[in-house]
Amino acid sequence: MTTGSRELPAVVASDLDGTLLRSDGSVSRRTKEVLRRVEAAGVEIVLVTARPPRWLDHLRDIAGAHGVILCSNGAFVYDVGAGRVTAEHCLTVETILELAADLRTALPGIGFAVERSTGFAHEPGYLVGGTEPRGVTVVEAPQDAAALESLLDPLPGKLLAKCPGVADEHFHQTVRAVVGERAVLAFSGAHGLAEISAAGVTKAAALADWCAALDVGPDRVWAFGDMPNDVPMLTWAGTSFAVAGGHPEALAAATSVCPSNDADGVAQVLEAALLR
């Protein structure tokens, strides 16, 4: 891994899980310090993640001076300091019910959940695993259009789907074929989980909007990621890094490879640029 003669960019955008965070979900002291130094040098730091708003509040100390995280694969802009969603790009009721009906036909036993600005909700058939999180809404009704529709106020940024007993590869291939161009299907590393966003909603689209507001083009952006849902962002940014051990699609899309998340790969790249 080298940064060569690269100077620090105007914006550094990083995925969280598998990229900036270590495998245990922690942020190393080294990474925190490097992010602080990079920001002090005049670089905007923005986190871009598949995580929903409810999984972000403990990361406010690395969210940058602006305190904003682009989350749910670009569906929400979340102000960590204020604890509120400031912008959203949601699926419509019509699209959700249409996709759900088609997916129930193709994959009997499939269950759905939603990530909304106000939190998470799911049908009984959607297995969350472990203890039910506090504050979760569960629809005590059969898995049908009426039950799912009761979860759609407010509209969700992501529709989640699981189908117990169906192999991952077959599940994702089937969901992709059914969804087609009607929405965006993303894979962020969670096995057996389909993450569906509105058409056009990706990490790249959210990051492009964020950078446009700063009058920063992709040529002045460095992006870091590790999974297929990062590919649009890695492709959009002028300079991109996939972490070692990342998904083959991310490694193929990035312009460079950096050390793994557990070796503080993002910090290593930024340190090299700071020392230039």
Q: What angle do CA 220, 77, 193 make, to 5 degrees?
A: 100
- The residue among 80, 88, 217, 227 whose CA lies nearest residue 154 is 88
Tell me: do 79 and 168 sit in the same domain: no
pLDDT, position 2: 44
Tell me: do 191 and 234 sit in the same domain: no
For residue 154, whether the previous peptide bond is cis, meaning omega lies within 30 degrees of 0, is: yes
Name the domain boundary from 198, 228, 260: 198
Give residue for tokens 């629809």: 139
CA 75 – CA 60 distance, rounded (Å): 19
Note whether residue 1 is domain-resident: no
Tell me: do 41 and 138 sit in the same domain: no
Secondary structure (3-state) at 128: coil
Specify the pTM: 0.93
Whether the CB-CB separation of 126 and 138 falls below 8 Å is answered with no
Count of domains for the chain? 2
User: Residue 3 burial (CB < 10 Å; 0-12/13-18/19+)?
Assistant: buried
Secondary structure (3-state) at 78: strand
Note whether residue 4 is domain-resident: no
Note whether residue 59 is domain-resident: yes
Tell me: do 235 and 179 sit in the same domain: no
Task: Determine the structural domain holding residue 133 and report its residue range.
Answer: 93-198
pLDDT, position 190: 87
Name the domain boundary from 161, 180, 198: 198
**What's the CATH code of the domain at 228?**
3.40.50.1000
pLDDT, position 142: 57
Name the domain boundary from 198, 225, 247: 198
Tell me: do 136 and 187 sit in the same domain: yes
CA 231 – CA 105 distance, rounded (Å): 30
pLDDT, position 213: 97
Tell me: do 108 and 189 sit in the same domain: yes
Tell me: do 103 and 184 sit in the same domain: yes
Residues whose CB is less than 8 angstroms from the CB of residue 275 and which lie 6 or more positions away in sequence, other chains included: none
Tell me: do 190 and 206 sit in the same domain: no
Tell me: do 103 and 191 sit in the same domain: yes
pLDDT, position 127: 73
b vs e for 44-69, b when ≥16 Cβ sit within 10 Å of the residue's Cβ? bbbbbbbbbbbbbeebeebbbeeebb
**What's the CATH code of the domain at 170?**
3.30.1240.10
10 Å Cβ neighbour count for 105? 10
Tell me: do 169 and 248 sit in the same domain: no
Tell me: do 84 and 208 sit in the same domain: yes
Note whether residue 267 is domain-resident: yes
Pull the structure tokens for residue 185: 């299907």
Pull the structure tokens for residue 260: 């793994």
pLDDT, position 125: 75
Give residue for tokens 């929405």: 183
Cα R_g (the chain), whole angstroms? 19
Tell me: do 84 and 158 sit in the same domain: no
- The one-character DSSP state at 154 is S
For the chain, list residues with pLDDT below 70.
Answer: 1-6, 129-144
